[in-house]
Structure 1
Amino acid sequence: MTAPTPIPAKTHTTGPSRARALLRGAPAGLLLLLALTGPHLAPHATDTPLTFPYAGPGDGAILGGDMLGRDVLSRVLAGGAPLIATALGIAVIVTAIATIVGITAALRPALGRWIERAADLAILLPAVLGIMLIALAWPGGGRLAVGAAATVLGIPYAVRIVAAAATPITATGYVEAAAAGGERLWHLALREVLPNLRATLLALFGLRFVEGVYVVSVAAFLQLGPQPPEADWALMIRENAAGITLNPWTVAAPCLAIGLLAISVNLAAEALAPTRPTPETQL
């Protein structure tokens, strides 16, 4: 008689682990809150010159002026919300579609082979080239075009990750028993497989969010996506690169904001992922 396939033990989160997760996720929450409320906290108008171009800190401008003399601090406070909204939309759509397609591919191997082959072919397209093709072909271009390009190009990678993580779960005893009992595909996906992919999906969401931030930032250097005079962190870097020696804050401030956002979101996603059970917690 063959031994039954063991059911994965439930993950455990102790009190100290919860506190550590909250501590690691706090910077992301605070930065997101600051970025979303930043337009209301800006001390000056973001499109009105306050001083001469590339002026240093002082004269009412804590971080000085940008290429047109506009207040750098006000534009930094107002420039986070559009970038975060775009990256968040990319992460949500890519993760949701990849979850559905990846779990389906794992539960239906015959269909899954075709899905994986299609994903492999899509991955061959260079990301930068794909962004340019989609964004330039999009009527009007702009932020929506870059977001759509990043979403389309991010799905194949994400599908491969979800399918690879879901395949071992579909081979466990409780999933096979549910399938043998006549449960439908949606039940197997939502009730049996999806709860065991929490850590993978949280990590994937964090990765897609950070990649969305970087894609929008890179697109700004290619003069795609947000356009002047919009206040946007990525656009600020491209616009003020020529005056970095005159007022370094024009580039350093948005660079620091993007870097802190990426790091804090990664830490938050890692902290929210359930910890693997230890032998002691399984007893």
Structure 2
Amino acid sequence: MMRATAKQLRLLTVLPAVLVTGLAILGPALAPHAAETPVGIPFGDPDATAWLGTDRLGRDVLSQLLYGGWGLLVLAAVIAVAVTAASCVLGALAALRPGIGTLIERATDFVMLLPAVLGILLVLTSWPDAGAYGLLVVALLFGTPYCARVFAAAAAGIAASGYVEVAQASGETLAHLIFREVIPNLREVILAQLGLRFVAAVYLVSTASFLQLPTTLGASNWAVMVRENASGMLLNPWAVLAPSLAIAIVAVSVNLAVTAFGRGRTSRRKVSVDAAEPGPKPRVGEVES
């Protein structure tokens, strides 16, 4: 009963993110109006034509919202996968080759001293046509060292295990050790870091979009909606609140889901270990409670 309830709670934590992501994917087909078509006066109140009112150019906020999530979430997902994959390989390499682990620690210390916003400005202003590729470069430069450090710590125990030492003694290549011996045993860490990197990527893409740096995300994404409609928040708050809530719901829900599923795996592992340990046996004549 308790296990079923815990499973239901974990599913509930990810449900908001699934709903918002589904709306972002199906949004263009569900939007009542074209994204750039004016339907009323600027910052008009919600009505039957525009359920969330209009933005600064008189466009339907709901249609803008349904059109604006796809590019942002796809780019965040690509960044999350790229950073997690690169970090996983580097972390496994650092665990097998301690000298590389020292370099990763130094790179992490350097990256932590530089704000990510500064990196965005440096890369995208010096590379004006970079667009989404520039954001990917920024994410790899600023996210990979820290994430690789996490993977290196998780892979250290695996690298010191007996089967890895046997594989090394038998002359297996470094690639074999990384991809066949270490990484398959990092599944839980990979899933946890993938969720966390997605949350960080959502914030990174939102920040860059708010600053209008990448030009390939379009003019109707959620972060740009917040920036452009901030001046009319008192006239139609939904023009700012709706995209802000969409970003927050995805980020917070994914973060909670990663935490809940990680806690569930830890609890199941603890139960398995406790069940495997021999306990005191009841003496003859005693009834086991």
TM-score range, shorter chain: 0.7 to 0.9
Deviates more, 1:124-133 or 1:14-23: 14-23
Cα pair distance change 1:141/1:173, threshold 3 Å: closer
**2:218, 2:160 → 1: CA distance?**
54
**2:61, 2:19 → 1: CA distance?**
21
Q: TM-score, normalised by structure 1?
A: 0.86
Cα distance, 1:230 vs. partner? 1.7
Runs of 4+ in structure 1 deviating by more than 6 angstroms, as ranges, are none
SS at structure 2 position matched to 1:275: helix
Matches within 5 A, 1:93-242: 93-226=82-215, 230-242=219-231
CA contact (8 A) 1:78 1:231 kept: yes
Aligned residues: 270
**1:69, 1:111 → 2: CA distance?**
56
- Please provide the CA RMSD for this pair: 2.3
Runs of 5+ unmatched residues, structure 1? 1-13
CA contact (8 A) 1:146 1:224 kept: no
CA contact (8 A) 1:25 1:265 kept: yes
Q: Which residue matches 1:79?
A: 68
Cα distance, 1:21 vs. partner? 4.1
CA contact (8 A) 1:202 1:270 kept: no
Runs of 5+ unmatched residues, structure 2? 278-289
Q: Which residue matches 1:275?
A: 265
Cα distance, 1:200 vs. partner? 1.8
1:139-169 C-alpha deviation (Å, 9 max, x unpaired): 4243432333223221111111111221122
Deviates more, 1:189-198 or 1:256-265: 189-198
1:261-282 C-alpha deviation (Å, 9 max, x unpaired): 0122223333444612123343
CA contact (8 A) 2:93 2:178 kept: yes
| Paired-residue identity, % | 50
Deviates more, 1:104-113 or 1:170-179: 170-179
Q: Which residue matches 2:286?
A: none
Opposite residue 59 of structure 2, the aligned amino acid is R
Q: TM-score, normalised by structure 2?
A: 0.85
**1:214, 1:235 → 2: CA distance?**
13
